[in-house]
Structure 1
Amino acid sequence: MKKVWLIATLVAIFGCANAQTDRGKWLIGASSSLGYSSTSYDEPGLDKTTSFNIEGVAGYFVIDNLAAGLNIGYDKEKQGDDGNTTTLIGPFVRYYANGIFFLGASYSSASREDVFARAADKFSFRVLAFEAGYPIWIIDQLAIEPTLNYGIATGDEIVKSKTFGLSLGLNVYL
């Protein structure tokens, strides 16, 4: 009897999860690294940084399990008394495997203002990012999503950097 209940529960969960990622549905949400990510640089002598970020997404399921849309982000980094503020915007795609987990990629244009010893410098760069995570369905249309992220930033005026982090998102599926 326990096996029957387990199978029925799993079928219900998979059925509900998949229904939220059908073609024609919308994805709207926000995520954050909640105050910590670790960035290492290709150039020796640069210290690691800590940062806070928040990213908003709005996407549309163009086919079942595949969302495409726009992300907008804000990032504040601190390294000693110095720091910077970054804003970014760009397209993203995200593929859901039966609503159980997802893989995504984005390409963003970013602009950053660095503040060092009260002097500011502004410049632009590009970010290619990848994500993997899973939705934890709270109710039919609301999910908490822990996500592993990896990003590569490049530009003429910055040192190429790679970022690996964990973020937590809250998304609504309409």
Structure 2
Amino acid sequence: MKKELLTATLVVVFGFANAQTDQGGWLIGPSTNLGYTSTSYDDPTLNKITNFNLELGAGSFLIDNLAAGVTVGYEKVKEGFDGNTTTFIGPFVRYYVKGTFFVGASYAAASREEVFARAPVKVNFRILAFEAGYPIWIVDNIAIEPSLNYGMASDDDIIDSNTFGVNVGLNLYF
């Protein structure tokens, strides 16, 4: 009896999950790399560091389980009087495998204003990123989406960099 109940529950859950990624649907929502961090040191000669990151994406399902759209983002890092502010915008694609997990890629043009010794410098660069995650459906059209992300930033003005991280998103599906 327990096996039948579990099987019926899984069929219902995955049925609702899959229905949210049908052609013509929309998704919109914010995500963050767990948002705000603050680091303080016992040594008074070291500055406190704060970091805040937020992204907002919106897209449409072009075919069942395949969404494409645009992401905009903002990140602020501050260390004493120094720090930087980064903004970016670019397209993304995301494929849902039967509503149970997703993989995606994005490309963005980014601009960073760096402030060192109170002298601002503007740097432009590109970001290519990949993601894999799992939608946790709260209700029929809202999902919390933890994901693993890998990004590569490059341009003539910056040293190439790679990042790996964990993001958490909240998406609305229409």
TM-score by length of 1: 0.89
Q: CA deviation at 1:79?
A: 4.8
Cα deviation code 1:40-93 (max 9, x no counterpart):
xxxxxxxxx973211000000000000000000001124565211000000000
> Which moved further from structure 2: 49-58 or 62-71?
49-58
Q: CA deviation at 1:23?
A: 0.4
- Hey, what does 1:75 align to over in structure 2? 75
Q: Secondary structure, in 3 states, of the residue corresponding to 1:159?
A: strand
Residue 35 of structure 1 contacts residue 50 of structure 1 at CA under 8 Å; is this kept in 2?
Answer: no
Q: Within 2, Cα distance between the matches of 1:83 and 1:109?
A: 20
Q: Within 1, Cα distance between the matches of 2:124 and 2:14?
A: 43
> Which moved further from structure 2: 28-37 or 116-125?
28-37
Point out which structure has higher relative CO (alpha carbons under 8 A, 6+ apart): 1
1:85 and 2:90 matched: no
Unaligned runs of 5+ in 2: 38-48
Sequence identity percentage: 66
Residue 149 of structure 1 contacts residue 165 of structure 1 at CA under 8 Å; is this kept in 2?
Answer: yes
RMSD: 1.5
Q: Within 1, Cα distance between the matches of 2:50 and 2:64?
A: 37
Q: Secondary structure, in 3 states, of the residue corresponding to 1:23?
A: coil
Count of residues paired in the alignment: 163
The aligned amino acid for 1:136 is I
TM-score by length of 2: 0.89
Q: Secondary structure, in 3 states, of the residue corresponding to 2:34?
A: coil
The structure that has the greater radius of gyration is: 2
- Hey, what does 1:162 align to over in structure 2? 162
- Hey, what does 1:56 align to over in structure 2? 56
- Hey, what does 1:112 align to over in structure 2? 112
- Hey, what does 1:46 align to over in structure 2? none
Cα deviation code 1:21-51 (max 9, x no counterpart):
00000010000012479xxxxxxxxxxx973
Residue 51 of structure 1 contacts residue 76 of structure 1 at CA under 8 Å; is this kept in 2?
Answer: yes
